[in-house]
Chain A
Amino acid sequence: MRGITKRFGDLVANDHIDLIVEPGEIHALLGENGAGKSTLMNVLYGLLQPDEGEILVDGSPLKLKGPADAIRAGIGMVHQHFMLVPVFTVAENVILGAEPTQGGPIGRLSLDQARREVIEVSERYGLPVDPDAVVEDLPVGVQQRVEIIKALTRDAELLILDEPTAVLTPQETDDLLEVMRGLKESGKSIVFISHKLREVKAVADLITVIRRGKVVGTAEPSAAPSELAEMMVGRSVILTVSKEPARPADPVLSVSELVVADDREHRAVAGVDLEVRAGEVLGIAGVQGNGQTELVEAIMGLRKVMGGRITLQGIDITTMSTRETLDAGVGYIPEDRSVDGLVKEFTVAENLVLDAYRRAPYGGRIALNLGGIAASAREKISEYDIRVQSHEQPISALSGGNQQKVIVAREMSRPLKLLVAAQPTRGVDVGSIEFIHNRVIAERDAGAAVLVVSSELDEVLALADRVAVMYRGRILATVAPDTPRDKLGLLMAGVHD
């Protein structure tokens, strides 16, 4: 792949990416969520058309109009979310889209042939699976195997595995890595997408690290985990936030022995203790998927707590609803603004009061005060420098940075005891980043406790007065922000001395 560029609106998801995969190579693509890995692979699989750049297979350029072209060129893909029909058998799923028939294109379906093909492929590559099993009855790991078989029966020479381990148990993960090694030995190439260092190091021949849509470098699997972690979270942009030293006062948020499950009922947060005091910023660093999201959602009452206690200025908020938590003086910038932070059909003014519409002067128990909402919207638009034509404009017409400023304005325009900011500047332009960072610090200086969670190490280091490193659901260590980066990198990779 040469010079691949893909834009979505004004977001550049892939910025002139070059990628070369040799035959019989496992090539790992490492990067945070949203770094552009999946976009790149969707381009390679023909699901997206690149704005610039070209794809070459065996040296000759290829125009991919859709996945059918990619399959014909010997490219197969296993998506993060399986593309299987749950009520069909394994054999039926494997032939789906290329059904072998007897007697012309509308002849009788030849299921026997399909079964034979499945058995043959599964034996050749060591992928045991029962061709007559119904897919929905199979464990996730086996379903994934079906996807791989499906690609192999289409004579794929290059397999794209998009975050294959995200849905697997540790045992299934080990099995998959074994399968990948076997495939490599029989001459197949694999592009392996992941943000988990351990797996990548275990199986890859070459690692390409992508960050914010750009290739930041390639590394051998022998590279130190800390080096890889650093590449992933980056240090290219130097963020500076001018701030006075913190003057921490009494503890505001205390979390003790917190246990929280993720959507798959695994323990994502496995006994976290932390304390944030008034007038300080506690930053949580770590590679994504180590329990940060679940921790924040538990604090906000959005996720059930399985064990432990959360208190706000001594008041137990462990089982409080989200509304009660917000009313208790907590501000929340959610990780994913388009899903959790904004209603895209609503106007800017409506989004500015999304969690405050019941408070004066925006409204009461029964009615909204549209005049009050509009007046305050105009005020906030100028105060927070939100670039809009009018507060009546739908929020979806705004750029990412301005959308994020709407959330920041909403959360910070009421007196806060605690501000919880998850990925406060993800997908935001540099100017807005600076603005938002200064606002966070201003909130700290006004006496609020601030908890910042970010996968951008720079951001955590720029904002935090203390940095807690999270790994596999635990806080591995709490260090000062001037700790050397290599030490932080080691901590983020789970190495603790």
Chain B
Amino acid sequence: MIEPGSPDKGPAAPPALVKEHRAAPRRRNLWQLFREEFWAANTFMVTFLAVVLALVAGAIIMIIADPETRATWSYFFARPGDALQASWGLVSEAYANLFKGAIADPDQWNRWFWNMAPWQQALYPISETLQYAAPLALTGLSFAVAFRAGLFSIGAQGQATMGSIAGALAGFLISAPGWLHVPVALLCGLLGGMLWGFLPGWLKAKTGAHEVITTIMLNYIAFHFLTWIVIQKGIQDPSRSDAISSKVDETARLPLLFDPSLRANLGIVLALLATAFVGWMLKRSTFGFELRAVGANPDAARTAGMSVAATIILVMTLAGGLAGLGGATMVLGTAYALTPSVVGTIGFDGILVALLGRARPWGVLAAALLFGALQAGGNRMQSFSGISLELVGVIQALIAIFVAAPALVKAIVRLRESRTGGAAELAKG
């Protein structure tokens, strides 16, 4: 609709307005431009504010949930200082612990500096964050890839489950030297997830069955298959009576990145590689071009000679593979044995991660790191401040809600409408 310089256009208002916008920023300096764009309703700002707002809401929940703090509010009008002080103390300590558990504890760094503690202590929070983030990034990428192809795949949970089963079986049923065992086990995890992604893709392409329904159902099947298989003879740990499998061989465990006492493992490297791969694929590969075209306009894709059915099957298989890899890294990297809850809820959390990352590969990785950090920090918050770990789940959910409802964030913080021209100007310098 905007077509500057075209002589055959009527006296329509929009082009004139745009010209004004384009011309205006040139007179401002870079800092002013930055400040303006920062407070405008762009994607970054909305995402950032969603996180802040979720933390604020989390703080309110903490205050309400804590009996002692709540009690100080009952005489707020008599002595407001008490209530404010107690609330501030509670919230600031909790979030300080969240930070210390997720990124760095200054005490530990200090002690390490003065040779009072080993460096592992200082690096522990980061290691935990990376360890939690890796599978989330993979399931997040899984959802994002399908989403870019116009598919709403809820199946990462089941795909990750199948990946963890296949990876674990390869981990303790096969014996091989370490350089071979790890790749074979990961490959099995990948294939297990791919199978679970292929099925809904194939059903959608051949029969039109909606992927939301089929992936949810396959999630159930995968979950119950897992609970069944862990108690089968030859799978279950012979020394245990509960539902847990044998441990995967030492040779199949993902190498740890830093130190035996730190859990960060090869998984985060895989996540990084997968992010780079998906980024490359979406932007620079022939298949990525087809994927995006099918996602944005299947009719035009078909008319341009692309096979929509084949693309859907391939995309779902690929998405399944990514999630399967995520499940495999959990069992081969940290859990080392199958249990019914071995993959936790990484499949569903992956949807939130992808949403927060706007279905863009590097955005997904960043969101996974954030969610990993919340998870790692939440553990410390629970043990040091006595704030239940569930609060982290609430905060994650609130972030997702705020991201999904940008209008809400804009209304709360009263952001200006973004000047689309401004961002481009800023990017060019």
The interface of chain A, by Cβ under 8 A from chain B, is 7, 9-10, 12, 300, 302, 321-327, 332, 334, 339-346, 350, 354-355, 357-358, 363-368, 370, 387, 389, 396-399, 402, 429-431
| Residues of the A chain whose Cβ atoms lie less than 8 Å from the Cβ of B296 | 343-346
Bound CA span A357–B292, Å: 13
Is B256 interfacial (CB 8 A cutoff)? no
Q: Contact at B285–A322, with CB atoms within 8 Å?
A: no
| Residues of the B chain whose Cβ atoms lie less than 8 Å from the Cβ of A389 | 4
Q: Contact at A350–B289, with CB atoms within 8 Å?
A: yes
Is B286 interfacial (CB 8 A cutoff)? yes
| Residues of the A chain whose Cβ atoms lie less than 8 Å from the Cβ of B300 | 339-343, 354
Bound CA span A300–B12, Å: 38
Q: List 5 A-B contacts (CB under 8 A).
A: A322-B304, A339-B297, A355-B303, A368-B288, A370-B284
| Interface bracket on B | 20 to 34
Q: Which of A321, A363, A365, A430 contacts B305 (CB 8 A)?
A: A321
Is B199 interfacial (CB 8 A cutoff)? no
Bound CA span A324–B306, Å: 10
| Residues of the B chain whose Cβ atoms lie less than 8 Å from the Cβ of A325 | 305
Q: Contact at A387–B297, with CB atoms within 8 Å?
A: no
Is B299 interfacial (CB 8 A cutoff)? yes
Q: Which of A321, A357, A397 contacts B307 (CB 8 A)?
A: A321
Bound CA span A334–B300, Å: 9
Is B260 interfacial (CB 8 A cutoff)? no
| Residues of the B chain whose Cβ atoms lie less than 8 Å from the Cβ of A7 | 12
Bound CA span A332–B304, Å: 9
Q: Contact at A322–B286, with CB atoms within 8 Å?
A: no
In the complex with contacts A10-B12, A343-B297, A358-B286 CB distance below 8 A: yes
Within 8 A of A (CB), among B262-308: 283-289, 292-293, 296-297, 299-307
In the complex with contacts A397-B1, A402-B3, A429-B8, A367-B286 CB distance below 8 A: yes
Bound CA span A387–B15, Å: 14
B428 to chain A, nearest CB (A): 11
B181 to chain A, nearest CB (A): 30
Is B67 interfacial (CB 8 A cutoff)? no
In the complex with contacts A323-B306, A344-B297, A363-B9 CB distance below 8 A: no
Q: Contact at B12–A9, with CB atoms within 8 Å?
A: yes
Is B10 interfacial (CB 8 A cutoff)? yes
Q: Contact at B1–A399, with CB atoms within 8 Å?
A: yes
Is B6 interfacial (CB 8 A cutoff)? yes
Q: Contact at A332–B303, with CB atoms within 8 Å?
A: yes
| Residues of the A chain whose Cβ atoms lie less than 8 Å from the Cβ of B289 | 350, 357, 363, 368
Q: Contact at B1–A10, with CB atoms within 8 Å?
A: yes
| Residues of the B chain whose Cβ atoms lie less than 8 Å from the Cβ of A302 | 302-303
Q: Contact at A364–B297, with CB atoms within 8 Å?
A: no
Is B2 interfacial (CB 8 A cutoff)? yes
Chain B 1-45 per-residue mask, 1 if CB under 8 angstroms from chain A, else 0 = 111111011101010000000000000000000000000000000
Q: Contact at A368–B293, with CB atoms within 8 Å?
A: no
Q: Contact at B293–A367, with CB atoms within 8 Å?
A: no
Bound CA span A429–B285, Å: 36
Bound CA span A300–B304, Å: 10
> Which residue among A325, A345, A364, A402 has the maximum number of chain B CB atoms within 10 Å of its CB?
A345
Q: Contact at B8–A346, with CB atoms within 8 Å?
A: no
Q: Contact at A366–B285, with CB atoms within 8 Å?
A: yes
Chain B 390-412 per-residue mask, 1 if CB under 8 angstroms from chain A, else 0 = 00000000000000000000000
In the complex with contacts A346-B292, A366-B286, A399-B6 CB distance below 8 A: yes
In the complex with contacts A341-B300, A342-B300, A402-B3, A323-B305 CB distance below 8 A: yes
Bound CA span A436–B300, Å: 21
| CB nearest neighbor in B for A410 | B304
| CB nearest neighbor in A for B3 | A399
> Which residue among A343, A367, A370, A387 has the maximum number of chain B CB atoms within 10 Å of its CB?
A343
Q: Which of A10, A341, A368, A399 contacts B286 (CB 8 A)?
A: A368
A196 to chain B, nearest CB (A): 26
Bound CA span A137–B295, Å: 34
Additional A-B contact list (10), CB under 8 Å, known A354-B293, A366-B287: A12-B10, A302-B303, A326-B305, A339-B300, A340-B300, A341-B303, A344-B296, A368-B288, A396-B1, A399-B6
> Which residue among B2, B4, B283, B288 has the maximum number of chain A CB atoms within 10 Å of its CB?
B2
| Residues of the B chain whose Cβ atoms lie less than 8 Å from the Cβ of A358 | 286
Please name the 5 residue pairs, one residue from A and one from B, whose CB atoms are nearest each other, closest first: A323-B305, A355-B304, A340-B303, A345-B296, A9-B1
Q: Which of B2, B8, B9, B304 contacts A354 (CB 8 A)?
A: B304
B167 to chain A, nearest CB (A): 27
Q: Contact at A367–B305, with CB atoms within 8 Å?
A: no
In the complex with contacts A346-B293, A368-B286, A368-B289, A322-B1 CB distance below 8 A: no
Q: Contact at B3–A387, with CB atoms within 8 Å?
A: yes
Q: Contact at B8–A431, with CB atoms within 8 Å?
A: yes
Q: Contact at A399–B303, with CB atoms within 8 Å?
A: no
Q: Contact at B6–A387, with CB atoms within 8 Å?
A: yes
Q: Contact at B286–A365, with CB atoms within 8 Å?
A: yes
B311 to chain A, nearest CB (A): 12
Bound CA span A396–B1, Å: 7
In the complex with contacts A10-B1, A387-B5, A339-B299 CB distance below 8 A: yes
B376 to chain A, nearest CB (A): 37
Q: Contact at B299–A368, with CB atoms within 8 Å?
A: no
Q: Contact at B285–A368, with CB atoms within 8 Å?
A: yes
Q: Contact at A343–B293, with CB atoms within 8 Å?
A: yes
| Residues of the B chain whose Cβ atoms lie less than 8 Å from the Cβ of A363 | 286, 289
Bound CA span A59–B17, Å: 39
